[in-house]
Structures are given as C-alpha cells and as structure tokens.
Chain A
Amino acid sequence: MFTLEIIFNILAGLAFFIYWVIAFIILYHLSRFGIGVQPKKFAAAFLFGSVVLSATVIILFTRTDISAFLSL
C-alpha cells in the first residue's frame, strides 16, 4: 500500500513537471516568435492562470486521501 502511494505521488509530480515543461515551451514561443502586443498579453494571462491553477492543484492534492482509494 505504502509503495503504491509513493508511485502515485511520483506520477503526480511527473505530470506536474510535464505540465510546466509544456507551459515553458508555450511561453517561449509567445515571447520569442510573437509579433506585436497580442502574444505578450496571451503570455501574461497564461502564466498568471498557470500559477493560480497549479497552486489550486497542489492544495487539493495535499487534501486528497489517496489511501482511501487504494483500499477500494
């Protein structure tokens, strides 16, 4: 059970890491290749939303009792 919990935590961390890698690629493209004002606005909105949503995911992750699911 304990091992499964560790695996779940690692998977969650990995998914989170992949999200931020893709987020970085999007932000890089918008700031590197974007012409004019619009890409900058999109980049700012995306970064802000990503930070807020990531914080929400982390908070909800810490509140979730994984062992209850694994015992099903």
Chain B
Amino acid sequence: MIKKLLSIFHDSPNSFEGQKQGEEVLMLLRHHPFTIIIKVAFFALIGLVPIVLWIIFSALLEEHGWLNAFLFVSSIWYLVLWLGIFHSLTIYTLNAVLITDRRIIDNDLHGLFNREVSELHNHRIQDVSVHTNGLLETFLKFGDVTVQTAASEKQFIFHRVPKPEKVKDVIMRITASRHTGVKTMV
C-alpha cells in the first residue's frame, strides 16, 4: 500500500489534462535548472539574516531576555522564506512545454492565478529556430526555441529551455512525420 503510494514519486507518467487517446508525450520541457537555482540561492542568502543578527546581537538579546522573542521572529522569517521558495518552484515547475506526437502545448504561469495555455498542432508548424545568447547560455547549453506558425498567426517562443538543438530536432521530426506518416521516436 505504502509502496504503491510512493510510486507516484518515481514512475508518474507525463499524462496531462485533455490528453487524447493514443497521444504520446515526446518531451516535457521546463526552463533550465540554472534559472531556479539562482532564485533559490537568493532565498538561501536571505535565510542567513537571522543567523548574522544572532552573531552580532546575541549578548544583547540574552541580557534583555529577548531570546525567545528573537527565535519566534526568526521562525516566522523562515516560514515566509519557505513559502517564497516554493512559490518560485511552483511557477518554475508549472511553466512547462509539452511536445506530443500531435501538438505542442505551452503552459505559461505568470502568477498562481494567471495561467495561459496555448496549443499548436504540428501541421501548422512552418519553421523552428534556436537562439542562444551569451556566455552562460552557451556553456550551460540552454536557449530560446522559436516556433513559427502560419504567417498571420503568432510565434511560439519557449524561453531558456535546456538543449534547444535537440528540441528543434524533435519538433522538426514530428512535423516531418505528419507529412510522411512515419511515427516519431525520441
């Protein structure tokens, strides 16, 4: 029972709401982990504030009997930080692009109550381009992938995705397979 319950943490399928029967998820893309590591590192840095204050004012706090109050305020500080970290992680993890054998679904979460879902069927894809800008993106191998649809329609831009060249290849393959009828394998 417990084993079955814990299995969702290692073999949960990439199924999603609105998935068609027989539709296969080829790729699940999120921003490069570097983008979230920067944010978490910033929160970790803020987490040092009570420790620094304790080092500086420990004698004063004990002298006035404010130790328990300081610990209480510090615990609230960490509780708020915890919320901030997981708010960032939620935004990061839910900003995902799904590439299936039939379409591309772009989930954009700008805030917890500001969600935009765009869908692009592979027969509408006209062109795919990759844009890697700067030292970090080059060395850490991430960049923007732009999918151009029919002329009057909007562009799909997937920002800071890891291995953009591979993503481009997969999108080009599913587009080609639409015309040839050969199923794409990733």
B83 & A22 in contact (Cβ 8 Å cutoff): yes
A42 at the interface (CB under 8 A from B): yes
B21 at the interface (CB under 8 A from A): no
Contacts of B115 in A (CB 8 A): 33
A38 & B79 in contact (Cβ 8 Å cutoff): no
B72 & A26 in contact (Cβ 8 Å cutoff): no
When A and B form their complex, what is the total count of cross-chain residue pairs whose Cβ atoms lie within 8 Å?
A: 90
Contacts of B80 in A (CB 8 A): 19
Please classify the interface of chain B as helix (H, G, I), strand (E, B), loop, or mixed, using the class held by over half of its residues.
Answer: helix
A47 to B89, CA, bound (A): 13
A38 to B83, CA, bound (A): 18
What band does the interface of chain A fall in when counting residues whose beta carbon is under 8 Å from B? 20 to 34
Also in contact, A69 and B10, with CB within 8 A (given A19-B83, A42-B86): no
Contacts of B90 in A (CB 8 A): 26, 29-30, 39, 42
The residue among B90, B107, B115 with the most chain A CB atoms within 10 A of its own CB is B90
A68 to B67, CA, bound (A): 12
B19 to A, closest residue via Cβ? A35
B89 to A, closest residue via Cβ? A42
A30 to B109, CA, bound (A): 12
A29 to B, closest residue via Cβ? B90
B-contact bits for A6-49, CB 8 A (1 contact / 0 none): 00000000010001001101100110011111111110111001
Known: A26-B87, A42-B89, A61-B72. 8 other contacts (CB 8 A): A26-B112, A29-B90, A29-B109, A34-B94, A53-B75, A60-B75, A63-B72, A64-B68
Chain A positions within 8 Å of B, measured between CB atoms, are 15, 19, 22-23, 25-26, 29-30, 33-42, 44-46, 49-50, 53-54, 56-57, 60-61, 63-65, 68-69
